[in-house]
Amino acid sequence: MVEKNRVLTLKEVESLKIDPTRNFYSATPEEIKNGYTTDIYFVSAQEVLRHLNLKDTIVTAEIFPRGSGVMCGVPEVLNLLSSTPVEIWSLSEGEEFSPKEVVMRIKGPYSAFGVFETPILGILAHSSGWATAARECKVAAGEKIVLCFGARHVHPAVAPVMERSAIVGGADGAACILGAKLAGKEPGGTIPHAAILIVGDTVIAAQVFQEVIPPHYSRIILVDTFKDEAEESLRVARALGANLEGVRLDTPEERGGVTPGLVEEVRTRLDQAGFSQVKIVVSGGLNPARIQALKDKVDIFGVGSYISGRSPIDMTMDLKEIGGEKIAKRGRLPGIIPNPRLKQIK
């Protein structure tokens, strides 16, 4: 049995066997906590330090980003190190950081956390990247609602992490069930093209949605499947009346995508027909610039690949003190770098 939260030896790594019937290639929580997602050289380092009786040397490590962004992933790092004898100082979830700013500091025996450098940096880098992309979209949208629709663009093992990160960054909600619930929200969405295509008529699909779906779910209907978006919006609005909360435009780029002109036409025709309460929801290839161009007439933005496809924000962990003595690799400043924004969390 592996000692909790540590890969102890190279021998253990060599004896690790993979079940050939394993269903998914993503790491389990136990595998992450056991250190199996780290780089092998951190295990080798433990062997060297153990041989020299230095494995429990007290060190202070600092983590800094290569670029600016929004801090995210702190709870997972805290959970990863929860049973280790270390102290942790960190920026809070959702706080913005600058390039090279110290965002987290860890102090304790190197053997307690050194093997986790890889997953710690990975957690913070990817989560902060997603949160930053969501923040950019929310800033562009202003008071308008931003929902994360990015789960389909990433491996399902990380989809909940991505959508939770988006909410930390400022998204108002998410479509992924687990992602939304991890952030303390209920998932939100509309009705997919697939259902409308199978039914064969948008209005009939909308009417059945109204009939069978519990009333607390939003009545937002796609209107770009079969007919002109403005025409279909009016058909659905007349069929559902006051029950219709919104219409969603997801027009593919093969037909020109969702343009300001299209949105304005749909808005105008709905208003002229007495359906000014019907919101307009837009999705498909959105980014901050497109959100900015559309936001005057759009109420809700569903953003997918701009958030899910954001590159991680490179994070680096450096040892800055060993046994209380200031130290650093060449090119870095020895000793801890003060940051009054850090708060002790462990």
Q: Is 5 part of any domain?
A: no
**Residue 63: which domain range?**
10-128+311-344
Task: Answer yes or no: do 155 and 291 share one domain.
Answer: yes
Residue listed under structure tokens 């801090």: 71
Q: Is 1 part of any domain?
A: no
Q: Is 82 part of any domain?
A: yes
Task: Answer yes or no: do 264 and 141 share one domain.
Answer: yes
Q: Check which CATH number belongs to the domain holding 284 and give it.
A: 3.20.20.70
Task: Answer yes or no: do 315 and 304 share one domain.
Answer: no
Task: Answer yes or no: do 172 and 251 share one domain.
Answer: yes
User: pLDDT tens string for the chain (346 positions)?
Assistant: 344 445 568 998 899 999 999 999 999 999 999 999 999 999 999 999 999 999 999 999 999 999 999 999 999 999 999 999 999 999 999 999 999 999 999 999 999 999 999 999 999 999 999 999 999 999 999 999 999 999 999 999 999 999 999 999 999 999 999 999 999 999 988 899 999 999 999 999 999 999 999 999 999 999 999 999 999 999 999 999 999 999 999 998 899 889 999 999 999 999 999 999 999 999 999 999 999 999 999 999 999 999 999 999 999 999 999 999 999 999 999 999 999 999 999 9
Task: Answer yes or no: do 226 and 120 share one domain.
Answer: no
Task: Answer yes or no: do 239 and 199 share one domain.
Answer: yes
Q: Is 215 part of any domain?
A: yes
The three-state DSSP-derived secondary structure of the chain is CCCCCCCCCHHHHHHCCCCCCCCCCCCCHHHHHCCCCCCHHHHHHHHHHHHCCCCCCEEEEEEEECCCEECCCHHHHHHHCCCCCCEEEECCCCCEECCCCCCEEEEEEHHHHHHHHHHHHHHHHHHHHHHHHHHHHHHHHCCCEEEECCHHHCCCCCHHHHHHHHHHHCCCEECCHHHHHHCCCCCCCCCCHHHHHHHCCHHHHHHHHHHHCCCCCCCEEECCCCCCHHHHHHHHHHHHHHHCCEEEECCCHHHCCCCHHHHHHHHHHHHHCCCCCCEEEEECCCCHHHHHHHCCCCCEEEECHHHHCCCCCCEEEEEEEECCEECCCCCCCCCCCCCCCCEECC
Total count of residues recorded for the chain: 346
Domains identified in the chain, total number: 2
> Measured between alpha carbons, how far is 21 from 6 in angstroms, rounded to an integer?
25
pTM of the shown model: 0.94
Residues 6+ apart with CB under 8 A from 136: 288
Which pLDDT belongs to residue 155?
Answer: 97
Q: Is 3 part of any domain?
A: no
Sheet of 325-326: strand order equals 325-326, 315-322, 58-65, 104-109, 87-90, 343-344
Task: Answer yes or no: do 297 and 317 share one domain.
Answer: no
Task: Answer yes or no: do 201 and 323 share one domain.
Answer: no
